[in-house]
Chains A and B, each alone.
Chain A
């Protein structure tokens, strides 16, 4: 984590160097604060890293069982998230809920199917027809003639 923070600090410094980083006659330039924030971030993160290395607390993070549970939730969600833009929100949501209800909650089939049908439908009625907020549409929605 500290390493990632330091790396992020590096990116910030790099991005900020493209702007005026000085303190002009009328105050700081566009890059003045970002560049200092970036350097500070690198410094603080390195300090943290050093302390963790010295304390030898790097090894333990999480028990394997917990990691597996986290990934069982995270991976399908990430795939769902990535699929929303190209494939549309409704079909992907139904598939995601179906999978999760079966795999994670070990729900019975009829519960899972009910959830996977009702929730996208509810979302459609609520957002598209009533609130007028468009959700992502993909080829499946197009084929059904839903805009």
Chain B
């Protein structure tokens, strides 16, 4: 279904008009608005994850902000397409090529999934609009575990010779990749145990069924506050900025960085990304970029970032495209080494 409503004021869009106009789109042309392109019908937000969880919240918080602040006239429908670790949503995005009323919400899985498994889309089927936040990764262990620091933990794992159990959500996804990177940086091997969600992993660690995990702050904070798990280091070159004390006088800003702790990759974060289908115009992408920029300014958005201790990462346009390209190339090389690449 190729269809688009283009504004006559955009020269660039007009040049593509012949290519894009399909079906009965001409019937829908409305008087041009003050500037650029505007959505002409209900917009669908497609979440590349099931209900609940970070990505789902990401899309729903954007939806609620847009509605609350009246940033757009047309209604928004949020649908979850979490099948195949989110690939279902991206395949759907591919099918909606040229339709600027479909906005896909994901993470870096958009470019990582095609590397590890056979999927029904390629990166060129989607157009990156913005990266709005970056979720942090921390190394956690349960509270009465014998290791005080990340270094202790790594040495203990070395002594256990591969029997050390690292929990994570999904196989060959961010948690697994980070575990591999820690292994490579330190030379130890872990037994990686994949679960369905970060929440499940948090409980398994609190119940001492695994020895450590690499959860995001939001996934583990409840168990930390209850004093069942504690953080050892954060995979970010800078310490977290939130000074609030969480448990026993320790807060986010007290957690050492992985470099300070002397283990693993210095920088590992997961961007939260927004995409349009391919073959949408620059004017259409610009509309969404501007809208999301407005969302970013609201207090609700700030509050959501703080609640999940997520970093502020705003990238758009060429900068974002370059970042994706670089990250994809780096992971491709790593995955080849792990034997994960799907041929």
Which residues of A are in contact with B by a Cβ distance under 8 Å? 26, 132-134, 139, 142-143, 145, 147
Contacts and interface: CB of A to CB of B under 8 A. Distances in A.
B44 interface: yes
Interface of B: 23-24, 27-28, 41-42, 44, 75, 77, 191
Contact of A132 (B23, B24, B41, B77): B77
Contacts of A147: 41-42
B88 to A, nearest CB: 16
A145 B44 contact: no
A12 B22 CA distance: 42
A145 B28 contact: yes
Contacts of A143: 24, 27
B42 A142 contact: no
A19 to B, nearest CB: 12
Contact of B23 (A26, A133, A134, A142): A142
A7 B41 CA distance: 47
Nearest to B44: A134
Given A132-B77, A134-B44, A134-B77, A145 B27 contact: yes
Contact of B191 (A26, A133, A134): A26
Contacts of B75: 132
Chain A interface helix/strand/loop/mixed = loop
A26 to B, nearest CB: 7
Given A133-B77, A145-B27, A147-B41, 14 more contacts: A26-B191, A132-B75, A132-B77, A134-B42, A134-B44, A134-B77, A139-B23, A139-B24, A142-B23, A142-B24, A143-B24, A143-B27, A145-B28, A147-B42
12 contacts: A26-B191, A132-B75, A132-B77, A133-B77, A134-B42, A134-B44, A134-B77, A139-B23, A139-B24, A142-B23, A143-B24, A147-B42
A26 B24 CA distance: 58
B118 to A, nearest CB: 10
Contacts of B24: 139, 142-143
Contacts of A134: 42, 44, 77
Contacts of A132: 75, 77
Contacts of A139: 23-24
Nearest to A144: B24
Nearest to A128: B42
A31 B46 CA distance: 31
Contacts of B41: 147
Contacts of A145: 27-28
A132 B75 CA distance: 9
Contacts of B44: 134
A107 B24 CA distance: 37
B91 to A, nearest CB: 15
A31 to B, nearest CB: 15
Contacts of B191: 26
B78 to A, nearest CB: 9
A26 B193 CA distance: 10
A126 to B, nearest CB: 15
Nearest to B76: A132
A142 B77 CA distance: 19
Q: Which 5 A-B pairs have CB atoms at the shortest separation, nearest pair first? A: A147-B41, A142-B24, A132-B77, A142-B23, A143-B24
A76 to B, nearest CB: 27
Nearest to B101: A147
A147 B23 CA distance: 13
Contacts of A26: 191
A99 B196 CA distance: 46
Contacts of B27: 143, 145
Nearest to A146: B41
A66 to B, nearest CB: 38
A142 B28 CA distance: 10
Nearest to A147: B41
